[in-house]
Amino acid sequence: MNTKHWAKLLFLISFFFRKSIANDCAPYRVDNEIIACVCNATYCDGIPDNIPEVPTEGNSYWYVSNKQGLRMNVSEVKFDRCENFVADTTITVDSKKKYQKIIGFGGAFTDATGINIAKLSRATQEQLIRAYYDPKKGSRYTLGRIPIGSTDFSTRIYTYDDAPGDKLLKNFSLAPEDYNYKIPYVKLAVELNPEVLLFAAAWTAPLWMKQFDNNITYLKEEHYETYVNYLIKFLDKYERNGVNIWGITPSNEPLLGFMIDNPNISMTWIPKTQANWIANYFGPILASSPFNKTLLLTYDDNRIKAIEYVKAAIEIGGKYIAGIGIHWYKDSTYPATIIDRIHEKYPDKFILMTEASIFNPIWNCSSKLKSEAWQRGEKYILSIIDYMNHWSVGWVDWNMVLDKTGGPTVVNNNLDAPIIVNPETDEFYKQPLYYAIKHVSRFVDRDSFRISIIDNNSINSTAFLTPSGETVVVLYNGATSTKHIILKDLQKDSKLCLELSPQSMNTLKYK
């Protein structure tokens, strides 16, 4: 080999030096295309224990998942001058420009999630919870959402006091679902990661506390205080069972009653009525209770009426409100600038995306599984990037686990989930949805700051500075072709020169 070729080879070696580290997915294939990773009692892919959290000086870790089949494939890439690297675009990171502080990422401990986990062997159950909550091997989830009573993803309708007229709540009791499907797995998650914060959400008050108006239900004024006491009893019962609740949203989707005809899983509020109830009942009673450190989140619905509801709640009962819950279901119609407006108006209230999911299961149809699985993961990572770039302090999935039918669900509202269980083989499948969340949750610690990142819109991006001083950059290349990227960190003299594979999720971590 002549001197010119040797020089070129040495340049490329130093320029793109990567130290490959095994991180194998046990593939689930459809027509030879990798759709998911298979986990069982003895094996589940994850970041190996022997990888240091921080790469060597002058290098960055680079984690890649893509449509071609890579799943959290990790390597090390050197910072360099990128002099002869022809780039499609340059992305600039500036850790001196900081925005919101991150609380965390997670999912919901629905009845359906617990029912599906319980169908697996004990060893596989533990493997599954590790896949989400283990700080090293899993997704490092730090949030968990707990429904108060039944939801559409239960197998029956129930509240904690279905005895009509029981204003003193003498018949209040947790349900078998709490003891069998929620509390055990919540406690296992917290045991794996003590940093987990849990927040609860109520779909409805018991029917006897509500009034009906053409099958739309509202809380009766005579039961305003009764319902507060009901919620506080829930907090007390969970604490007595070893589960402390960090936050609470008293009404999941206050607009839902206008959209569906099912008073068992919805309770309608109009903005001013809910605001007055918070200001005069829930806020002050919670503040004077033993649970006065439990944070109150308002709204907990889609962007569609967020400004109207939040304005009323904060202007009337703002001193009791810590944060605002937002759901993702109408995001394609109602832009993220709505969240910007809320943040600008009420910068002292945090904004948290509290529910996302994708309609219609695909595991019983191979052609849909092949054509849609990656697209669904893409939707998740684009949503996470979008919410991070518009002031959200976290992102919380809905059902963490479902079966192949997208259930169980008491109202036939079948959905998809990041993890699908197969009890017949004692396995579970981690879909692209799972890796989309992990590309952020695993690396962005609580109290990280979102920092400035600038691109030309050809690559979707967001960036963070962790409490221990690492920079985390998340990039998504949605194109069907490779993109050549220069990542320029204004706090460094050198750059990262990257080839982003087609339709790929990328996380970079360096110090």
Mark whether 172 and 65 lie in a shared domain. Answer: no
- Residue 250, in any domain of the structure: yes
Residue 353 has pLDDT above 60, yes or no: yes
Mark whether 164 and 289 lie in a shared domain. Answer: yes
Rg (CA), the chain: 24
Query: Averaged over 137-149, what is the pLDDT?
Result: 97
- Residue 134, in any domain of the structure: yes
**Structural domain of residue 428, as residue ranges?**
104-445
pLDDT band at 23 (very low <50, low <70, confident <90, very high): low
Lowest mean per-residue pLDDT among 121-125, 229-233, 264-268: 264-268
Q: How far apart are the first and last CA of the chain?
A: 37
Mark whether 477 and 432 lie in a shared domain. Answer: no
- Residue 393, in any domain of the structure: yes
Collapse the DSSP code of 94 into the 3-class scheme (helix H, G, I; strand E, B; otherwise coil) and give the result.
strand
> Tokens 């968990």 identify what position?
144
Query: pLDDT tens digit string along 257-296?
Result: 888 888 889 999 999 999 999 999 999 999 999 999 999 9
Query: Averaged over 460-487, what is the pLDDT?
Result: 98
Query: Averaged over 234-258, what is the pLDDT?
Result: 96
- Residue 479, in any domain of the structure: yes
Query: Averaged over 367-375, what is the pLDDT?
Result: 96
Residue 20 has pLDDT above 70, yes or no: no
For 85, 181, 200, 345, the CA distances from 354, given in Å and listed in that order, are 41, 20, 11, 20
Mark whether 63 and 163 lie in a shared domain. Answer: no
> Tokens 């017949």 identify what position?
424
Proportion of the chain above pLDDT 90, given as a percent: 90
What is the C-alpha separation between 87 and 94, in angstroms, rounded? 20
Mark whether 84 and 202 lie in a shared domain. Answer: no
Collapse the DSSP code of 157 into the 3-class scheme (helix H, G, I; strand E, B; otherwise coil) and give the result.
coil
Residue 1 has pLDDT above 80, yes or no: no
Q: Which of 291, 295, 254 is nearest to 103 (CA)?
A: 295
Which residues are marked as active site?
253, 355
Mark whether 92 and 108 lie in a shared domain. Answer: no
Task: Order the strands of the 89-101 sheet from edge to edge.
Answer: 73-78, 59-66, 504-510, 471-477, 460-465, 449-454, 89-101, 483-489, 495-500
Residue 19 has pLDDT above 80, yes or no: no
Q: Which residues pair with 447 in a beta bridge?
A: none
Mark whether 74 and 190 lie in a shared domain. Answer: no
Q: Give how many domains the chain has, as a whole number.
A: 2
> Between 414 and 257, where is the model more confident?
414
Mark whether 114 and 231 lie in a shared domain. Answer: yes
Q: Which of 477, 501, 498 is nearest to 378 (CA)?
A: 477
**CATH code of residue 296:** 3.20.20.80
Query: Averaged over 6-20, what is the pLDDT?
Result: 37
- Residue 42, in any domain of the structure: no
**CATH code of residue 63:** 2.60.40.1180
Structure tokens belonging to residue 48: 């190996």
> Tokens 């920092």 identify what position?
451
* Distance, CA of 411 to chain centre: 24
The string over 244-279, giving b where at least 16 C-beta atoms fall within 10 Å of a residue's C-beta and e elsewhere, is: ebbbbbbbbbbbbbeeeebbbbbbbbebebbbbbbb
Mark whether 261 and 311 lie in a shared domain. Answer: yes
The percent of the chain in helix, strand and coil, each rounded to the nearest 5, is 30, 30, 40
Residue 15 has pLDDT above 80, yes or no: no
Contact in structure between 153 and 406 (CB atoms under 8 Å)? no
Mark whether 320 and 362 lie in a shared domain. Answer: yes
pTM exceeds 0.85? yes
Query: pLDDT tens digit string along 84-96?
Result: 999 999 999 999 9
Q: Give the end of a domain, one of 395, 424, 445.
A: 445
Single-letter amino acid, residue 382 = L
